[in-house]
Chains A and B, each alone.
Chain A
Amino acid sequence: MKKNRLMIVLFLTPALLCYLLVFLYPSVRTTVMSFFKVESVSDPISSWTFNGLENYRTLWATSIFKQSMKNIARIWFAGGLGVMIVALFFAVSLTNGMKGVKFFRSVIYLPNVVSAIAMGTMWINYVYNSSYGLLHNIFATLRLAVLSETLWTGPDNLFWSMLVAYCFGMVGYHMLIFMASIEQIPRDYTEAALIEGANAFQRFYKITLPFLRGCFRTNLVMWTVFTVGFFVWAQLFSPVNLSNATVAPMNYMYELVFGSSASTGTMRNSGAGAAIGVIMMVIVIIAFALTNLIVRSDDVEL
């Protein structure tokens, strides 16, 4: 037993140290920092001055922050709805006796393994390009002049263009999670329903959906975690300055704390940056708690 204790300590310590140093300590310090006035992120604690909820109030009065929250709310809701519907549709189709499942599934998941920078570059410089781009060519062939001349990455369309490009890559991940749950539904159920003459919609509503409650929870929590971390795509679609159309809280935090572009005139304010971090963390916790509440995990654990 004594030997085991030594082994437990030896085997756990490195992993715990990683956790303490890179997750626990920074999270606690960020939370504390969000209640203090801190100008530069590397200021020592002695120069911090306590200012209660002032950082949060400042954020709430800043229009670009409100815009960034509005943007991730739209990403979460509109993007989430689109991704879940397409992912579920693909998952149900692919588990319903289609041929070539393995091939289709691999191709649909593919964007997840490619660097977001590379994917974004393909979308911006090819699909959305207004002189030789894919959309331009398709609409020009169909003689839809208005659509073929649309500037997809112009200010009016920037947000939705970004959202479509982002969601295209996300479908694969959520589809795989749906598929794994659907595959665990006992075949007898579907076969019995098939023989009894239930159509695809009836089978979907009466058998598939009830079984999928647990996996909706996983998908919703993961979608929230991804949305909160939304950063690269906004930077790709507005590479130089923050723009109202694409800014996400993380981009604004980066601007506040590590300030890259002087032209936006953002003052360095690391306390407010920390407050953004805390707000994002709280969103994840709320999403986790809510999905636990709505979709009771004891229903069907797959």
Chain B
Amino acid sequence: MATKSLRTLDSNNQRRLLPSYILIITWVIFTFILIGWVLFASLSTSQEIFSDHMFRFKTGFHFDNYVRAWKTQRVSTYFMNSVLYTAVSCTTIILIAAPAAYVLSRFRFKGNSVVQNLIASALGIPAIMIVMPLFSLVSRMRLTNNRWLLIFLYISMNVPFTTFFLLAFFKNLSTTYEEAASIDGCSPMGTFWRIMLPLVQPGLITVTVFNFITIWNEYFMSMIFANKPQVRPVSVGLFNMIQAMRYTGDWGGMFASVVIVFAPTFLLYIFLSERIIAGVTAGAIKG
């Protein structure tokens, strides 16, 4: 009886949710149109984009837009730069942040909570507050347009968030692992690398996906510290390309560049959206 009444309540509920369905589905369709349109436009010629018959592809699919963007518009350079920057940074961030998070979550020592608060405070410091002294330091050391400097910045700027994120994961592990390891004669450091770190693997993957997305899309710092085309990452490169292509009138090539730039994070999201969504809330709720 109870289940039956709940079921009728549920069908009533579905009917009452109709406005919600309409609004959310409209929103979702709009998102699809936005991305679908760019995909189609990236396969059309500039004339077709401006005509009223743009999605009939009378002249076929223009993959040459991609070839042109990749080869002549330096997208390949920007793309490879970003691949290098994100790969090196994401790995190093974990190597720095995971040990710090482990020590902060497992050991009691003087200043532990102070360090934790400092790290949390870094999450609220806006880029505008730190960019000027960094730039002055870097330009006096003649390190602008240096790949390793960019990587260093990406790493340092994301270490606090990553440490903060991983704290909760280490806190949730049982202390019996460490006890067992020390009885078997494993050193505390060995215990961390061989036992504890592999145990937080889900957290490591989630936070790395986040760092990947953040660094791939990072714009402000890259714009200031990388103004030579050879060292530019995709976000800054794309911005400059768009400004240039608007004047040359190569719209197909411009949209192809947009697609190339958002494809990696987009594909990653398609495969890992559940994990990313779980991570957003895990990272933010305590923040």
Contact = CB atoms under 8 A, between A and B. Distances in A.
B is a partner of A: yes
Contacts, number: 278
B224 A115 contact: no
A170 interface: no
26 contacts: A3-B188, A7-B188, A26-B129, A29-B132, A30-B132, A33-B132, A41-B132, A89-B20, A89-B23, A90-B27, A93-B17, A98-B24, A99-B14, A105-B277, A108-B28, A111-B31, A117-B242, A122-B38, A126-B37, A173-B280, A177-B280, A177-B284, A195-B5, A225-B124, A236-B239, A250-B128
A5 B13 CA distance: 59
Given A8-B107, A117-B219, A284 B126 contact: yes
A146 interface: no
B201 interface: no
Given A41-B135, A115-B217, A118-B258, A281 B125 contact: yes
A27 B125 contact: yes
Interface in B226-285: 234-235, 238-239, 242-243, 251, 254-255, 258, 261-262, 265-266, 268-269, 273-274, 276-277, 280-281, 284-285
Interface string B87-125: 000000000110110111001010000010011011111
Interface of B: 5-6, 9-10, 13-14, 16-17, 20-21, 23-24, 27-28, 31-35, 37-38, 41, 49-50, 52, 54, 96-97, 99-100, 102-104, 107, 109, 115, 118-119, 121-136, 139-140, 153, 155-157, 159-160, 163, 187-189, 192, 213, 216-217, 219-220, 224, 234-235, 238-239, 242-243, 251, 254-255, 258, 261-262, 265-266, 268-269, 273-274, 276-277, 280-281, 284-285, 287
A221 B285 CA distance: 11
A282 B95 CA distance: 33
Contacts of A42: 135-136, 139-140
Interface stretch (A14-22, A50-58, A75-83, A152-160): A14-22
A200 B163 CA distance: 40
Contacts of B121: 23
A61 interface: no
A126 B285 contact: no
A104 B187 CA distance: 48
Given A12-B103, A22-B134, A42-B140, 6 more contacts: A108-B24, A113-B268, A177-B280, A228-B128, A232-B220, A257-B132
A97 interface: yes
Contacts of B10: 97
Given A105-B277, A228-B126, A231-B220, A115 B163 contact: no
A97 B16 CA distance: 11
Given A12-B103, A18-B159, A115 B125 contact: no
Chain B interface, DSSP helix/strand/loop, else mixed:
helix
A106 B280 CA distance: 12
Interface of A: 3-5, 7-8, 10-12, 14-16, 18-19, 21-27, 29-30, 33, 41-44, 89-90, 93-94, 96-99, 102, 104-111, 113-118, 121-123, 125-127, 131-132, 134, 173, 176-177, 179-181, 191, 194-195, 199-200, 215, 218, 221-222, 225, 228-229, 231-232, 235-236, 239, 249-250, 253-254, 257-258, 270, 273-274, 276-278, 280-281, 284-285, 288, 302
A98 B21 contact: yes
B128 A109 contact: no
A25 B130 CA distance: 8
Contacts of B99: 10-12, 14-15
Nearest to A118: B262
A270 B219 contact: no
Given A4-B188, A113-B269, A114-B262, A26 B235 contact: no
B251 to A, nearest CB: 8
Contacts of B239: 117, 235-236, 239
A23 B128 contact: no
Contacts of B155: 18
Contact of B20 (A93, A118, A194, A225): A93
Nearest to A90: B24
